[in-house]
Amino acid sequence: MTPTFEDLVAEGLYDADAPDAALRRALLERALAVGAGLDEIRHASEEGWLHVVPTRVAILGGPPTLTVEEAGARAGLTPEFATRLWHTLRLDQRGYRMCVEEDVAIFELYAGVLSMFGEEETFQIAGVQAAAVSMMADAEVAQVRALLEAPQRGDGADNVAVGDMWVEFVRDFLAVVERGVARLHRHQILATGRRYTLWGAPTEESTAEVVVGFADLVGFTALGQTLEPRQIDALLRTFEARAAGTATSAGTRLVKLIGDEAMFVAGTADDALAIAVALVQDPDLPALRVGIAAGQVVTRGGDVFGAPVNLAARLVATAQPGEILVDPVAASLATTGRLEPRGARELPGFAEPVETFGVNPSEG
């Protein structure tokens, strides 16, 4: 049952004599108007996001009415499975143990995945999807806070005005973004399927023969001591855009960015070398170094694992600024670019020295 304002006063959530009484009353009345429950209002008050309650209701489609177990049961899932799934989706936190009717669709999705792939594979897929959507949401919220909320607060807006801005934004934004993301997902499935086809026949162990590369911004830690935060942000944005922009052929993929390092995979050594040369030669980036190795990897959860990954990571760590170090297997597979011996390198974790080859970017 939705509480009344008098209920909130009785719970000690409103003090008429407090300096911010008028603002707090307005926030509480907004929360009541959208049907927020007493526990949610208390939780929001304790953590300082009372002004976000109407936004939360606008995003979710209504106040929570189901437990996680009840929502899971609607999709035919056991309480244990539903609870573990909610945790895997990174939603098992205070304030998110209740669901709205529309959340049943989440459990229906993974009930379908479960019927096709089995339990552990379902949790793997859920974890990967949660990580991807979490990253997308983080980027969206960070941009709104920086470009919309911060200027508004700079002009003196209070939490009522900021909360109203967020409600208006999500109502306009979510309907559009959800349609667009659904189409983007279709295109990404198509592109990924094509890439895996180019990498060879599938195996039950989900292995592939690929070429792995790591590109590292040289001296980034030192740069971090001299650059302002906005300059660091601009540099990382440029690096991310260039790394993604170079891995554009059908058989290549930017796997991930880890701070000042990018990891990419390619179906051929020539494609991997092309990415490396483009990054090293990029005039908008500081000095880079690249390590490249080829061999069999395991593809799992959107990532790749295996000996070539470890070797490429070790090679980039020993490369000099502007240098592209290549292992013997990748060097033997390359048909373009001038590769030259760079001698054997002692690499951590490798019992024997590893022969290396280098590419001259100006001639590659």
Residue 249: CATH number of its domain: 3.30.70.1230
CA distance 247 to 26: 51
Q: Which domain holds residue 129?
A: 66-157
* Mean pLDDT for all residues in the chain: 92
Based on the fold, state whether residues 214 and 333 are members of the same structural domain: yes
Residue 186 CA, chain-centre distance (Å), reads: 18
- Give the tens place of pLDDT for each residue, 307-344: 999 999 999 999 999 999 999 999 999 997 679 999 99
Q: Is residue 301 part of a domain?
A: yes
Length of the chain, in residues: 364
Residues 122, 217 share a domain: no
**How far is CA 166 from its chain centroid?**
22
Burial class (CB in 10 A: 0-12, 13-18, 19+), 153: middle
167 part of a folded domain: no
Residue 173 lies in a domain: no
Task: Return the closest-CA partner of residue 232 out of 261, 264, 259.
Answer: 259
Note whether 205 and 306 are same-domain residues. yes
Cβ contact 135:26 at 8 Å: no
User: Looking at the structure, do residues 246 and 299 belong to the same domain, yes or no?
Assistant: yes
Rounded to whole angstroms, the Cα distance separating 215 from 279 reads: 8
271 falls within a domain:
yes
What local confidence, expressed as pLDDT, does residue 95 receive? Answer: 66
Question: Is residue 218 domain-shared with residue 144, that is, in the same domain?
Answer: no
Question: How many domains in the chain?
Answer: 2
Instruction: Band the pLDDT of 364: cuts 50, 70, 90.
Output: very low
Burial class (CB in 10 A: 0-12, 13-18, 19+), 306: middle
- Predicted local confidence at residue 14, as pLDDT: 94
234 has pLDDT over 90: no
Say if residue 104 is in the same domain as residue 216.
Answer: no
In this structure, the answer to whether residues 205 and 151 fall within a common structural domain is: no
Domain edge (last residue) among 103, 138, 157: 157
CA atoms within 13 A on the CB side of 218: 17
Q: Quote the pTM value.
A: 0.80
Residues 230, 324 within the same domain: yes
Is 268 domain-assigned?
Answer: yes
Q: Are residue 216 and residue 107 in the same domain, yes or no?
A: no
Is 320 a domain residue? yes
Does residue 29 sit within a domain? no
| Chosen domain end from 105, 137, 157 | 157
Q: How confident is the model at residue 159 (pLDDT cuts 50, 70, 90)?
A: very high
- Do 139 and 240 lie in a common domain? no
* Residue appearing with tokens 């959507």: 133
For residues 212 and 314, membership in a common domain is answered with yes
Give a yes or no: residue 217 inside a domain: yes
Positive or negative: CA dihedral 262, 265, 269, 274: negative
205 and 327 in a single domain? The answer is yes
